[in-house]
Structure 1
Amino acid sequence: MKLSEILEEDNIILDLKAKDKNGVLEELAEVMTNHEPSLDTGSLIRVLLERERLGSTGIGDGVAIPHGKFRGVTHPIISFGRSLKGLDFESMDGQPAFLFFLLVAPENSASVHLKALAKIAKILKNGSFRKVLMEASTKKELYQTIIQNDEEF
């Protein structure tokens, strides 16, 4: 599976309006549920907040990968958002987060879920890749950047 198979250009938010962690989760969940009929925004947000209570998904270097498993979802789905100003996501390094990949996977798909998380974390460890994502001026440019750095996982 590749990221291009689970991320659609319509699931990208060029400039998040959120001012805090909950706002980011709400915006990313809403764009995802608009394109995925098996998801309910309120239920998805509850799943994500529950996961965040276990520990922040802010991995540092300006990146957060909120994620959760959801009953009724048949395949992994990603939405992506960027905050040009950055915001507190309680990241491991204590720094603001700018880039957010929301991953939702089927409830009983631990292997695919973990592989997708690892893939996203791996490509986002590349500082030049993060820089290009921050400098992209359109959703199409962001999408193409992600797809060009895509590999099978």
Structure 2
Amino acid sequence: MNLFSLLDESTVLPHFEVGSKKELINALVDSLKDKIETEESLEEVREAVFEREEIMSTGVGKGLAIPHAKTKAVDTNLAVFALLKESLDFDSIDKEPVRLVFLLVGPESNNSQHIKLLSRISRLMNSGSFREKILNCTTTEEILEAFREEEEKYFVS
């Protein structure tokens, strides 16, 4: 499974504007509403992401945050990518604000795939040239194409 296949027009948010980390996570989870069967399940996803964030910030450095969770509320991996219009404090490990945010939610029963996807996000976003390319994107389509091209380069599934 590649990251590009988890993203689509409804889950890529270019030049996204929010005022706080909490508002950001809520908005990312809300963008999954058409992919999650019930409002109750959506709220379970939201709770799981916030619970994981309380353990330790998922602001991993270099302007990137990867909020994530595993939950019984979903039976497949779901993702949302946001390119923030303005940098946002995310309590990152390097104390720097973020502009790139990749939300990953997966089924509780598939730990190994969840870890592989988190690793893939980290490796992909660790490329300075790829981060720069994403930061220069202005549309959803440009972001999706950038992910597709980058994954084809490095991750032949």
TM-score clears 0.5: yes
Judge conservation of contact 1:33–1:41 (CA < 8 Å) in 2. yes
Runs of 4 or more above 3 Å deviation:
38-41
Query: Quick check: 1:106 aligned with 2:107?
Result: yes
The code of the aligned residue for 1:17 comes to: E
The match for 1:28 is: 28
Measure, in 2, the Cα distance between the counterparts of 1:137 and 1:98: 13
TM-score by length of 2: 0.91
Judge conservation of contact 1:16–1:24 (CA < 8 Å) in 2. no
Query: Quick check: 1:41 aligned with 2:42?
Result: yes
Percentage identity across paired residues of the two chains: 29
The match for 2:67 is: 66
- The 3-state SS of whatever aligns with 2:93 is coil
Deviation of 1:85 (Å): 1.1
- Map 1:2-151 to 2 at 5 A: 2-37=2-37, 40-150=41-151, 151=155
Paired positions, count: 153
Indicate the larger mover: 41-50 or 139-148. 41-50
Deviation of 1:137 (Å): 1.1
Q: CA RMSD in A?
A: 1.5
TM-score by length of 1: 0.93
